[in-house]
Every structure is written in structure tokens, then in C-alpha cells.
Amino acid sequence: MEQQIADLAAQVEALKLSAGVTNTNFAETYYYLTIPLMIIIHAGFLAYEMGSSRAKNVLSSGVKNILAFAFMIPTFYFFGWWVYWGFPTGLTLSEGPMGISGAAYASSIAWGWGPSTAAMGPNIADQASGVFFGAFAMFAATTASIMSGAVIERIQTVGFVILAIVLGSFAWVVAAAWGWHADGWLVTQWGVHDFGAAGLVHAVAGFFALGVLMHLGPRIGKFNLDGTANHIAGHNMPLTVTGLMLIIVGFWGFLMACVIVPGEAWSWFADKQSTIYGTPITLSALAFNILMAIAGGIIGSWIWTKDPFWMMSGALAGIISTASGLDIYFPAMAFIIAVSAGIILQPCANWLERRGIDDAVGAVTVHGTIGLYGVIMLGVWGWGFPALAIDNAPVITLYGQIVGAIVFGLLGFVPGYICAGILKSLGMLRVPAAAEEAGLDTVKVPSQGYPEGIVPSGPASS
Amino acid sequence: MFPYDTANWSVVDGNMFMLADTVWPGVFTAIAAAICVWVLVAGNRSEQEQYEKTKK
């Protein structure tokens, strides 16, 4: 009898060990797979930007976008990841109530030198750090790509890369530390909730782009002497629209990566998924609400524009407008909010254009304006929801979300405006007028986008 | 808007969406459906107007 009990206990232990191995490998694979899904976002931005460029600039737009992606990863490794863990309590870099923040904590897990290298390189006992870093590096690269589209056809390459690094490896990371971390002061003191990063990724990047555009100025020929705007069409609308659809595909990975899986030492719960705030979430909630938001955004944009560019931008706006509360919206509410975002999209872009801002792809509006709209909408509808999974948690409020929206907007705009001003004073922001008129591909890209032009072909003879 | 008496996630074991267990989710579903119908009606009107222009 005793032997049977001992055998049974051994089997239970073996099963527990096996279940733990399975859970750990599932958790690692889950985040690992979000990385290539998020790279699809960049494939989308690449196609979107190149299609929105005139043929004479198509490759230089691509070079700029690819280079931003490449620089984002090492710079996020060098210091961006440290910023995320170091800054949650504010500029004091002190430890927060959860004990997973502050300069000392960040230095113990997020430097590429010294003892923290155990968490910053291959380690058989650590199946989490690398995939978390990878997912966050992709968030960072997304911010850079958002800004990238707004400034096409007249920005210098190195100047742009510097701006991308400031945005992707610092500005948005501070916003994430403050509003997307269990110790973040916007969360603990104001109850800010931004599950899908409408404010801390999209609005930060959109308003960063606005700050840059104010120094960069419009493309030659965009505005007439009386201030009226001319439409500068990209050379390939189908490529642009396909790129937008790829961004939508990639966003499933982006939002999937915003979920904390259960059962690991770093998980909030042993038995259920949570948001980064520890509040409950299911992938089913995301499936309901993302799909309804995409549909709503497309329909809302189609009402007024009938234009596939704005319809696919509307799909993106639908997701962004609901991203803050994708965990707690009812699907029909997500649809209605997304419809409203789709409707206001083009008027907001036109409003900006009338003020002399040449945002070549509407990034400031789609990501900046709609991002803030989404953060505030959650304050309207989600008032009273606990913002953290702790006792006496702060709750979501309209005024808390407005504070969050203001902070996110400023965290984007101020660094963008200042850095672009510095680069302008150094002559590193805008290309010379002659280069702009000749076309940037001719000036600085040693290959041709369409060496044979676009030659129509006849049907094959039967 | 939190659908439980106590503002704490530990009491939640089912619906976690806004206005759960009230009539409002149904109302929003009806509004969403009405929007779809209205957009199709308005869109069709606009589309027919475009076709009419080509006949002139």
C-alpha cells in the first residue's frame, strides 16, 4: 500500500513537472510568434510608404523605413529596455509598489553588460526575457514606422534615423513605463488604462510626427501661395492599400503580445490570462472586438470617402480607437466607436492640412488624433472599472484618461519638436530643394525601382 | 459601468464587459445593426446617383 502511494506521488510529481514544461514552452512560443506577426506590420508600413511615394522617391522611402527598423532593435537593446523598467515611477527612477521597477531593478535585468547580461542573452534557465524583449522591440519599431510615413519624400536619411531612435527607444518607452506597467504612475495614481496602446504607442508616435513635420515643412508643390493644398498622389495606390491590410494583419500579433499568459513565475495568475495591468483578458475578447472594430472603421470611412485608402486607414483607426479597452468593450460598442472614428478620420486630416501640415499618409490623424480619441473614449465608457488587479485598485475615470491622453500627446510632441529643431539647425533634417525635385532615388539610391518603367503587356496568343 | 457591486476583479467570474447583465449590450447591438442598414441604404443612394450621372 505504501509503495502504491509512493508510486502515485511520484507520478503526480512527474505530471506536474511535465505540465510546467509544457506551460513554459507554450508561454515562450506564444511571445516568440508575436514577433514575426509584428514584423508583418513593418512589411505593411514598407508597402504603404513606398506606394504613397511618387515613383522618383519609392526606394528612398523604403530605405528609410528599413533602416529605422534595423536601428530600433539594437538601440532598444542598448537602452530602450532599461528605460521601460527604470522609469515607471517617474523621473525619480525609484522602485514602485510592485517591486519591478526603478533604476536598480532595471540595471539588474536590462543592461547588455555586467551581471544583468544573464537576462540579456541566451540562458537555458530563462525562457522569457528574450521573447519579451523581442515583442517590445517590435512595439518600438512600430512607433518609428508610424512616424516614417508622415515625412516621406523630403527628409534626410540619417536625420530620420536619429528621430526614429529618440521616438522608438526613448519617448514611447517612457510613455509605456508610465502608463503600461503595473508600477506606472499614470496607472497607480490616475487609473489610466490603455490595454492595446492607443495612447502610448499610436498617439505618442503620431504627435512625435507632428512635432517633426512642423520643422520639416511641406513637400515642394504641396501648398499654393494662397495656402490651399494640392493632392500629391503616390505612384501605387494598390500597393498602399495592400500595405495597410498587412498592418491590420500584423496588429493581431501586436495585440496578442499585450496579453500576459498564466502559470509562470512572472505571470499575474496561475490559471488565467491577464492584461499588462493584471486585469483579466481573453483572446476571445480580442477576437470579438478587433474584428468588430476593423469592420466599423472601414464602414465609417466608406460613408464619407468611398476611397480605399481612407477605408483601410479607417480599419486601422477602428482598431486604434478601441485599443485602450479591447479587453472590456462589448463588441457592438467597439463597432460603434470604430464607426465614429472612421467618420471623423478624413475631416481631421483635412483640418490639419488646412493648417499647413503636410502629413503624406495621414499618420498624425490616424495614429495621433484617433489614438487620443481612443484613450478618452475608454474614460467615457469604462468609468469605474478597476485599473489594476489588486485590492483598492484605482479605477478608470474620464479625467484619468484625459490626463493620460495629455501626457501621451506631450511625450510624443515635445521630443519630436525639439529633436527636429536641433537636426534642422545642424542641416540634417531636410534634403536640398534640388534633390527633392530631382527625386531622392536618383540622388541617393544605387538601384532603380522600375528600371523598365511600367510596361503594359498584351494577352498571350492562343 | 463596472458590472459588479465591488470594484475589484476578484469578484468577476463571468462577463467582464461594460454594462454586462443589463439591456444595454442588446441596445448597442441593435444600434450597430441599424448603422449597417443605414450605411447600405445611403451608400446605395449615392451609388445610384453616380450611375445616373453617367447616363446624362
CA distances A106 to A44, A83, A117, A127, A249, Å, are 33, 8, 12, 18, 33
Q: Is the pLDDT of residue A231 over 70?
A: yes
- Taking the CA of residue A252 and the nearest CA in chain B, the distance in Å comes to 20
Whole-number mean pLDDT of chain A?
94
Spatial separation of the C-alpha atoms in residues A262 and A239, rounded to whole Å: 40
pLDDT (average), residues A288-307: 95
Region A99-104 average pLDDT? 92
Q: How many CA atoms are closer than 13 Å to the CA of A206, on its beta-carbon side?
A: 27
Q: Where are the domains of chain A?
A: 21-93+128-444
pLDDT digits (tens, 9 = 90+) for A11-46: 999 999 999 999 999 999 999 999 999 999 999 999
| Burial A122-160, CB ≥16 within 10 A → b, else e | eeeeebbbbbbbbbbbbbbbbbbbbbbbbbbbbbbbebb
- Is A314 in contact with A304 (CB distance < 8 Å)? no
ipTM score assigned to the predicted complex: 0.94
Rounded distance between C-alpha atoms, residue A386 and residue A260, angstroms: 17
> What is the distance of C-alpha A435 from the center of its chain?
31
Kindly indicate the confidence band of residue A341, based on its pLDDT and cuts at 50, 70 and 90.
Answer: very high
Specify the residue for cell string 525635385.
A437
Q: What is the pLDDT of residue A459?
A: 81
The mean pLDDT value for A153-159 works out to 96
Residues of chain A in contact with residue B1, where contact means CB-CB under 8 angstroms, are 381-385
DSSP type of residue A229: B
Q: What is the dihedral of CA A230, A451, A429, A45, to 10 degrees?
A: 80
Q: pLDDT digit string (tens) for A409-434?
A: 999 999 999 999 999 999 999 999 99
In chain B, which residues have their Cβ closer than 8 Å to the Cβ of A385?
Answer: 1-2, 7, 18
pLDDT-derived band at B10 (thresholds 50, 70, 90) equals confident
Interface of A with B in 274-333 (CB under 8 A): 278-280, 285, 292, 296, 299, 302-303, 306, 325, 327-333
A349-379, pLDDT tens digit by residue?
999 999 999 999 999 999 999 999 999 999 9
**Any B CB within 8 A of A391 CB:** yes
What CATH fold (topology level) applies to the domain A21-93+128-444? Ammonium transporter fold (1.10.3430)
pLDDT-derived band at A462 (thresholds 50, 70, 90) equals: low
Distance from CA of A84 to the nearest CA of B (A): 26
Question: Cβ of A332 and B18 within 8 Å?
Answer: no
Please judge whether B28 and A393 are an interchain contact, meaning their C-beta atoms are less than 8 angstroms apart: no
Chain A residues touching residue B20 (CB < 8 angstroms): 330
Confidence of residue A266 (pLDDT cuts 50, 70, 90): confident
Q: Which residue of B17, B20, B35 is in closest CB contact with A336?
A: B35
A339 at B interface, C-beta within 8 A: yes
Local confidence band at A391 (pLDDT 50, 70, 90 cut-offs): confident
The pLDDT of residue A2 = 87
The pLDDT > 70 percentage for chain A reads: 100
CA distance B26 to chain A (A): 9
C-alpha closest to that of A292 among A338, A325, A259, A242 = A338
The answer to whether residue A227 scores a pLDDT higher than 80 is: yes
What's the longest Cα–Cα distance across chain B?
67
pLDDT-above-90 percentage for chain A = 91
**Residue partners of A7: CB distance under 8 A and separation at least 6:** none
Residue A156: strand, helix, or coil: coil
